[in-house]
Chains A and B, each alone.
Chain A
Amino acid sequence: AQSVAQPEDQVNVAEGNPLTVKCTYSVSGNPYLFWYVQYPNRGLQFLLKYITGDNLVKGSYGFEAEFNKSQTSFHLKKPSALVSDSALYFCAVRDTHNQGGKLIFGQGTELSVKP
């Protein structure tokens, strides 16, 4: 079965410092991986995705993620965190075994950036 795990419920970072939000996955076949951000009482906003190609994927708002096949990881990173980055972050893998490509989400990581 395909799954994705976010080992940290919460990540705390000081503004201006680099941030990493971790994600590991388990899939059969080639993974389609996604990162989304959710602000309070809002829907999900797409940040970036990995389908194929370069292992380093650049996305919205200065975020990037590195696909590491040997470690089955897809960690989200940003060189310099902003207070406005504080939100709930979800990693997801697309279920390629089912038509329609439903997403399987990790449990989410709450990012808190302090001034």
Chain B
Amino acid sequence: GAVVSQHPSRVICKSGTSVKIECRSLDFQATTMFWYRQFPKQSLMLMATSNEGSKATYEQGVEKDKFLINHASLTLSTLTVTSAHPEDSSFYICSAVHSGGADEQFFGPGTRLTVL
């Protein structure tokens, strides 16, 4: 149990386009999901906290208009990178908190974004 999926696993796009990444909790409901960004061999940097039915809470320095987050249901949160540029290339990882459990975070497999 407690599986989190991300789609796509890998995406390559042209500069200026927008990319949507989905995070799904497959077998549990998640009131809260987190979005992280990770550069090669570095730690995870929390970008935002996604709360079902309300606006996401962004960390300091993260542009909310650049990284749009929608948490429309208890099993799905989406991150849209708008007008992507090469510096947005990174590994994006989501995690979901089991609503009825011991609030442990379960991580998705990550999405590799490459902006040309």
Contact = CB atoms under 8 A, between A and B. Distances in A.
Interface in A74-115: 88, 90, 100-103, 105-108, 110
Given A100-B32, A100-B51, A43 B43 contact: no
A35 to B, nearest CB: 13
A49 interface: yes
A41 interface: yes
Interface in A1-57: 36, 41-46, 49
A44 B107 contact: yes
A41 B110 CA distance: 7
Interface of B: 4, 6, 32, 34, 41-44, 46, 49, 51, 91, 93, 95, 97, 103-110, 112
B97 A101 contact: yes
Interface of A: 36, 41-46, 49, 88, 90, 100-103, 105-108, 110
Contacts of A100: 32, 34, 49, 51, 97
